[in-house]
Amino acid sequence: MSTAAASPRSAQAQAFRDFWKRFARNKGAVVGVVILLAVVVLAAVAPLIYPQSPWSMVQRPFLPPLAVDGFLFGTDTLGRDIGAGLVHGARISLLVGIVSTVVALTIGVTIGALAGYYGGLLDDALMRFTEFFQTIPNFALAIVLVAIFQPSITSVIVAIGIVSWPPVARLVRGEFLSLRSREFVQASVVLGQSNLQIITRQILPNTLSPVIVMASLMIAQAILLESSLSFLGLGDPNTMSWGYMIGAARTVIRQAWWMSFFPGVAILLTVLALNLVGEGLNDALNPRLARKGR
Amino acid sequence: MQKLSFIAKRLVKAVFVLLAIVVLNFFLIRAAPGDPAQVMAGEAGAADEIFIAQLREQFGLDRPLHEQLLIYVGGIVTLDMGYSYRQQQPVADLIFDRLPATLILTGTAFVISILLGVLLGALAAARVGKWTDSLITVVALVFYATPLFWIALMAILLFSVQLGWLPGFGMESVGAGYSGFQRVLDVLQHLVLPATTLGLFFMAIYARLTRASMLEVMDMDFVKTARAKGLPPGRITRVHVLRNAILPVITLAGIQAGQLVGGAVLTETVFAWPGIGRLMFDALLQRDYNLLLGVFFVSSAMVILFNLVTDVVYTLVDPRIELK
């Protein structure tokens, strides 16, 4: 008892070790973490490995992979280095994935918390609103939003956020509904805490685990959405992204497979890694719900 | 009777959702940078003055906003979605011309994904922990993470370019002049790659869900009872477990309908399939907002209709459903 009280730091470390032990039991999740770390590191050091802009022409066009030293992945139709596009594209994918998930979480948590905490008419109204957004085809809505507000990093992020929040709202609402009547919440009411305090300090922290799990899966979906948008030519025209690379190489697929092959593998690995990590987080954070059969 | 009123309520709700989408469209046109008439005509400067004046007249753009909204909603209700200046045709005609192709593609993809998904999921659940299970789980995980447009391109590369087995472009052989049964065969051949590609992602979702759902149901008491009664395991899996485990799959199928439409945009773009998804891509390239919003509206309507159908199917499959 004295040790725990004396050093909260070591208690935290212990909690983390426990978490990691449960997480690492899922081998797929560990593989996911390794891939994800590799992608993050590549994205971070992109300007160091490829100091030149991924847009600049550096070799002759249509150079196959490994044909010339230093061009592991070949060049595209305009002689741009595909390797450079891959690492610089990682930055955009991660950026859009994370920021748009933050946007979606902000909208979803706010709506879900209000609906679940207050209930009644407000709950009804907010849930109809959520259902509406869940019914419209979300990729089509994202296309329309980005097309109308002109393609840019901001419009892509906002559009993905706008089409991705409904599941968060439903999840958070459900958690709030079940936590609202618990004793610790009633105690806070008796203590005279304001609604805002109860929502943000008492209930919200308790909904964190499932929200974190959902967030990791949402980043994966957001990256898929971003790549699909830029594949259709709706990416930010100033940033190199994986979807754009595939879209630009689409018409020459018969002559130059590598131009669309490698960026696709990059998307696949990143999204797969995030999904695996999400499952691992689920096992580690919601041990009671951990899926059977493994 | 109770079922009828349930369905009627759903119908009313569907109409409200549709109206809400029309209103959303109305405000989106006005949110776009530039004059609404110019926006509807396409990229600024693309349309001539006479057409712009016509648009202003038709949509009452010089009148107050609420009157404009009424005119716009009135137009959609009578299926008048405006005129595509770029394509020199009414938007509604363009869309309804292309709709059958999309229905064939998404319908086939839907059937493939549900059948394969439930089959693989059930198989994995029946062999839980064995290598069949692991293999199916890994395959599902990979397809779930693969961008649709990329699988489409790789499928063309492999089956069309390298092996030459299947066509990877369009819906029919150009200039072949087939008719009757030969034409049907030709279309079917063209359908294989796009429909399978579009179906794979959803197959992965259904397989994962079926597996999880079956494992959950297998743990329930009535299954133990069935086992204790000495029913053959195959029958328990097929009749007792699967029928109950399929319910969440139906729910999800309704939710995923919207995704299927989004997927059609990508698949049709890659395979040059002449449906409304491809139309949406063309509208995008030409910044033909009127057409873009028209396709958005019609595809949303399709999804809502489909949701309605899944609701009805659900009440048929599960007699216990609470009819609220």
The answer, for B161 touching chain A at a CB cutoff of 8 Å, is: yes
- Are B149 and A246 a contacting pair at CB < 8 A? yes
Pick the residue with more confidence: B291 or A34? A34
| pLDDT at A53 (0 to 100) | 85
- Are A148 and B32 a contacting pair at CB < 8 A? yes
pLDDT at B157 over 70: yes
Pick the residue with more confidence: B176 or A29? A29
Select the residue from B149, B154, B163, B279 to test the A interface by mutation, using most A Cβ atoms within 10 A: B149
pLDDT at B3 over 50: yes
Residues of B in contact with A141 (CB under 8 A): 296
| pLDDT at A109 (0 to 100) | 95
| pLDDT at A90 (0 to 100) | 93
Q: What value, to the nearest 5°, has the Cα angle with vertex A113 and ends A110 and A117? A: 145
CA-closest candidate to residue B270, choices B105, B99, B61: B105
CA distance A272 to A232: 22
pLDDT at B321 over 60: no
| pLDDT at B323 (0 to 100) | 47
Q: Place B223 in a pLDDT band, splitting at 50, 70 and 90.
A: confident
CA distance B187 to B98: 15
CA distance A136 to B18: 9
The answer, for A246 touching chain B at a CB cutoff of 8 Å, is: yes
Select the residue from B12, B26, B150, B305 to test the A interface by mutation, using most A Cβ atoms within 10 A: B150
| pLDDT at A155 (0 to 100) | 94
Q: Place B108 in a pLDDT band, splitting at 50, 70 and 90.
A: very high
The answer, for A276 touching chain B at a CB cutoff of 8 Å, is: yes
Pick the residue with more confidence: B73 or A114? A114
What is the mean predicted confidence (pLDDT) over B191-204? Answer: 92
Residues 230-259 of B with CB under 8 A from A: 255, 257-259
Percent with pLDDT over 70 in chain B: 95
Q: Place B324 in a pLDDT band, splitting at 50, 70 and 90.
A: very low
CA-closest candidate to residue A251, choices B279, B193, B269: B269
Residues of B in contact with A135 (CB under 8 A): 17, 258, 300, 303-304, 307
Which residues share a beta bridge with A81?
A75
| pLDDT at A105 (0 to 100) | 96
The answer, for A254 touching chain B at a CB cutoff of 8 Å, is: yes
- Global confidence as pTM: 0.89
Structure tokens at A159: 């559009």
| pLDDT at A63 (0 to 100) | 78
- Are B212 and A149 a contacting pair at CB < 8 A? no
- Are B295 and A140 a contacting pair at CB < 8 A? yes
Q: Place B115 in a pLDDT band, splitting at 50, 70 and 90.
A: very high
Pick the residue with more confidence: A142 or B128? A142
Average pLDDT over chain B, rounded to an integer: 83
The answer, for A125 touching chain B at a CB cutoff of 8 Å, is: no
What parts of chain A have a pLDDT lower than 70? 1-7, 287-294
Which residues share a beta bridge with A57?
A80
Residue type at position A108: G
ipTM confidence score: 0.87
Q: How do strand B89-90 and strand B83-84 relate by DSSP bridges? A: antiparallel
* Whether the Cβ atoms of residue B152 and residue B194 lie closer than 8 Å to each other: yes
Chain A: closest CA distance from residue B54 (Å): 22
Chain A: closest CA distance from residue B181 (Å): 31
